[in-house]
Amino acid sequence: MKAEEVLCLCGDVSALENVSLHWDESMAAYPGGSEIVFLRDDEIVSNSRACGFDEDVTSRLLSVAEKIRSSEYMSRLAWHCYWRIFLSEAPCPPSDWPEPVELGEERGILYLLVGIGYVPLVRENHRQLGLPLEVALETVAQVKRFCDCNYSRAYKGRLGVFQSQLGWMRYYTKVPYIRLGRLEYWLQPSEKDLFVYRERETEKTIAFLPDGLTCLANGLRLSKPEEYEGLETRLTKYQDDGEKVIGTPVNPRGFVDRREVVLLRAKWDLVFKKGDMSLGMHIPSGGKMTFEECQKSLERAKEFFKEYFPDKLPVSVVCNSWIFNPELQEIFGPEANLNRFQRGLYLVPNASRHGDGLWFIFLKQWPFDLDTAPAETNLQRGILEFLKKGRRWRSGQMFILMDDIDRFCDGTYLEQFDEVMEQMK
């Protein structure tokens, strides 16, 4: 059975080019509908419970799985999706594949079954890493959040998972990617082009971007060179000759400062740079993102990775997200959870596109009609008001040094930075 035949039976062949990728390879490993492990009843019950779904959802999953097993084209589509995400040598996620019309209002469940099929793979990954089972169970709960907080919210209660998020689930099964409380962490060398210095005596921290990057007059950055045309711009400055560092530092409020500083290397150490081991932080949807819960998660991460990865100790936690857009401080009050969290971190401007991250807030790809966009939450209403003023939405970056997690509090990096800049006058 060819990919085109399968899509014809699904009722939509528009994704044929993407679905056809590696079709012959996955079909060579196709075990047959009744032999696909993640579609077996016992596996579905086990995986569904592990992910945190209730008995009603599990019953619906079992009912749809029976229909998929008895259908040659749906079995092959489900297998191909699973193989592409979890078994292929290189990442090759699905993109805009159809949901079988034959399944009616339950059509999104085919991809949800693929998603919960990652449970034994995550467990095995964690076993090989020598991690405790309870952490694997904490980690696999993510697929339920993909379903409840995104897909079901977008489709008025239907069960399913967005394919863009299915593709991301591969990493849970391949690398040290672990959920600890409110946040998730991926142990890997940092890809952030950043130079972080610490004063030996006082432990004050100053960060720099590479030399010669274009930024706006306000120290924020855009994604493409052509976006700067007609706007007032300036360049970042950074030089380290081994004796001193000269440059325009990153203000931890999330922009490149205009003021130039000189740091003597006899007093300041380079403590974090690109390529150093780090924890890439991911912030799952699901609410309850209080300062206290984030603090607990960071503290757990520091101890966890020290215990289980002593030979790969991370230097810093890093993240790129709309949550670190510094303009959230303007949109919401100082006591907002996101703003308190921001002020405990060192924010860094990144070259973001207009609209970065808005999908996670509105479940709509930017640009979209501001007048018809969802306005059900304070977050949505505040951002819509910001956008209606003609403002540009952006994402941002952050870091926090592992040594600072024990003293994680509102404003530490801000106070340190201001003190250093005052001394430089």
Same domain? For 182 and 315 the reply is: yes
Q: What is the pTM of this model?
A: 0.94
Same domain? For 157 and 247 the reply is: no
Reported residue count of the chain is 425
Same domain? For 121 and 216 the reply is: no
| Contact between 245 and 222 (Cβ < 8 Å) | no
What is the structure's pLDDT at 183? Answer: 97
CA distance 47 to 297: 25
Q: Which two tokens stand for residue 201?
A: 């005596």
What is the structure's pLDDT at 358? Answer: 97
| Contact between 355 and 366 (Cβ < 8 Å) | yes
Closest CA to 127 of 176, 180, 169: 176
Phi, psi (5° rounding) for residue 20? -70, -20
For residue 210, being part of any structural domain is answered with yes
How far CA 266 is from CA of 118, 198, 200, 201, 272, in Å, comes to 51, 11, 9, 11, 17
What is the structure's pLDDT at 59? Answer: 98
What is the structure's pLDDT at 392? Answer: 94
Q: Which helix (H) or strand (E) covers residue 251, if one does?
A: strand 250-251
Q: Which residue's structure tokens are 């012959």?
A: 24
Which stretches of the chain drop beneath a pLDDT of 50? none
For residue 236, being part of any structural domain is answered with yes
Same domain? For 311 and 423 the reply is: yes
Phi, psi (5° rounding) for residue 332? -120, 165
Same domain? For 71 and 100 the reply is: yes
Among the candidates 128, 158, 174, a domain finishes at 174
Same domain? For 44 and 134 the reply is: yes
Give the domain range for residue 185: 177-357+393-425
* Residue 293: CB atoms within 10 Å: 15
> Which residues, at least 6 apart from 121, have a Cβ–Cβ distance to it below 8 Å?
86, 172, 173
What is the structure's pLDDT at 288? Answer: 79
Pairing mode, strands 205-208 and 195-199: antiparallel
For residue 365, being part of any structural domain is answered with no
What is the structure's pLDDT at 424? Answer: 84
Same domain? For 127 and 206 the reply is: no
Among the candidates 158, 174, 190, a domain finishes at 174
What is the structure's pLDDT at 136? Answer: 97
Same domain? For 125 and 7 the reply is: yes
Same domain? For 297 and 409 the reply is: yes
For residue 368, being part of any structural domain is answered with no
Same domain? For 151 and 181 the reply is: no
What is the structure's pLDDT at 410? Answer: 75
Q: Which residue's structure tokens are 């081994």?
A: 242
| Contact between 200 and 271 (Cβ < 8 Å) | no
What is the structure's pLDDT at 289? Answer: 86
CA distance 383 to 393: 9
For residue 371, being part of any structural domain is answered with no
Among the candidates 174, 201, 218, a domain finishes at 174
Q: Which residue's structure tokens are 């000189």?
A: 262
Helix intervals (H) in 37-118: 41-51, 55-69, 72-82, 109-116
Same domain? For 252 and 340 the reply is: yes
How far CA 135 is from CA of 26, 131, 186, 257, in Å, comes to 31, 7, 14, 41
For residue 262, being part of any structural domain is answered with yes
Same domain? For 139 and 230 the reply is: no
How many structural domains compose the chain?
2
What is the structure's pLDDT at 77? Answer: 98
Closest CA to 228 of 213, 248, 208, 238: 213
For residue 51, being part of any structural domain is answered with yes
For residue 375, being part of any structural domain is answered with no
What is the structure's pLDDT at 411? Answer: 86
Q: Which residue's structure tokens are 């084209």?
A: 73
Name the residue type at position 136: A
What is the structure's pLDDT at 338? Answer: 93
